[in-house]
Amino acid sequence: MTEPKLDIHLTDADLTAALRADVLRGLTADSKWLPPKWLYDARGSELFEEITNLPEYFPNRTERTLLERAVDEIAALAQAEVLVELGAGSAAKTRLLLSALSAGGPLKAYVPQDVSLSALRGAAAQAAAEFAGLSVHGVVSDFTDTLRTLPGGGRRLVAFLGGTLGNLVPTERAVFLSDLREVLNPGEQLLLGAGLVTDPDVLIPAYDDAAGITAEFNRNVLRVLNYRLRADFVPDRFAHVAIWDPDAEWIEMRLRATRDMRVDIRDLDMTVHFARGEDLRTEISAKFRPETLRAELATAGFTVTRAWTDPRARYALFLSER
Ligand code: AVJ
């Protein structure tokens, strides 16, 4: 087996610096918020893997079923020499893509990208072990920052799966999609997985499961602040809340203070007050209407060549060309 290469664009020190900036901005705002990427330290990435196995969390299972159905056609259309996977995480679905792309196709390299070094190490090692002759080149970064420095070396298929696009608000999404379109060469393609707008009675439990794993995942961000910035959050004093916003058509995860609190963030010399009932928003997870997402892709300069949806129209895969 060839050892996987690993590019670290985000060192531990970079992460701490970025977190400081986000905490300064987000926890001094009128409505407190933090970007969702801070949910994914080693423990957070593990908890997310657990979420994908929950009965209520349908997006990953639905996406996998769609991928199983679509993957040969995707491979035939993409003719990819390099598979780039943005937000790869533990890359559980990658095996499907890698085997279809390498079966008789020109695939030479796999480039998994993720913000979590621990998740990426596992993904890279596993792919290298399973696909002999495949060159594996992991990138630790924030996916919105490193499009320009993604390794090339042949015709690329960029996979952005799991519905992670939904973590971006509309303006961020537009910038991200057009930046991505700009770095791709003619003929290179994007495979996008996106959750669709569906019944809130199905969506909300997916983000508020009976076993409380999503609640632990959500509260984990407070533990990240505790060890990275020497804060003294007591995670159990925050309740997990998942809300469907019918106007914005996104799920919001929040942490709700169960009493008045002062929290010291020592490394920022900062004290934050929470009133009982006050929310800290930790994630948005936008859901899409197929026509709207097609329009957003078109505005960014992509042409959708193929799309797949499950029978209950809860999730979709879009293959588009630069
Ligand atoms: C990894 C961002 C796609 O939004 O569904 C799961 C994260 N948050 N449960 C999603 C998540 C709560 C997930 N993404």
Q: Residue 283: what pLDDT? A: 98
Q: Residue 145: what pLDDT? A: 78
Please list the ranges in the chain whose pLDDT falls under 70: 1-2
Nearest CA to 169 out of 63, 254, 283 is that of 283
CA of 48 to the centre of ligand 1 (A): 8
Q: Residue 91: what pLDDT? A: 74
pTM assigned to the model: 0.95
Nearest CA to ligand 1 atom 1: 164
Please provide residue 306's backbone torsions phi and psi, each rounded to the nearest 5 degrees: -155, 145
Residue 207 Cβ < 6 Å to ligand 1: yes
Q: Residue 160: what pLDDT? A: 96
Q: Residue 1: what pLDDT? A: 58
Could you identify the atom of ligand 1 that is nearest to the CA of residue 218?
12
Q: Residue 212: what pLDDT? A: 98
Residue 4 Cβ < 6 Å to ligand 1: no
Q: What order of strands is seen across the sheet that includes strand 5-8?
A: 5-8, 135-140, 109-114, 82-86, 156-160, 189-195, 315-321, 303-309
CA 134 to chain centre: 24
Q: Residue 104: what pLDDT? A: 81
ipTM of the shown complex: 0.99
Nearest CA to ligand 1 atom 12: 207
Residue 87 Cβ < 6 Å to ligand 1: no
Residue 163 Cβ < 6 Å to ligand 1: yes
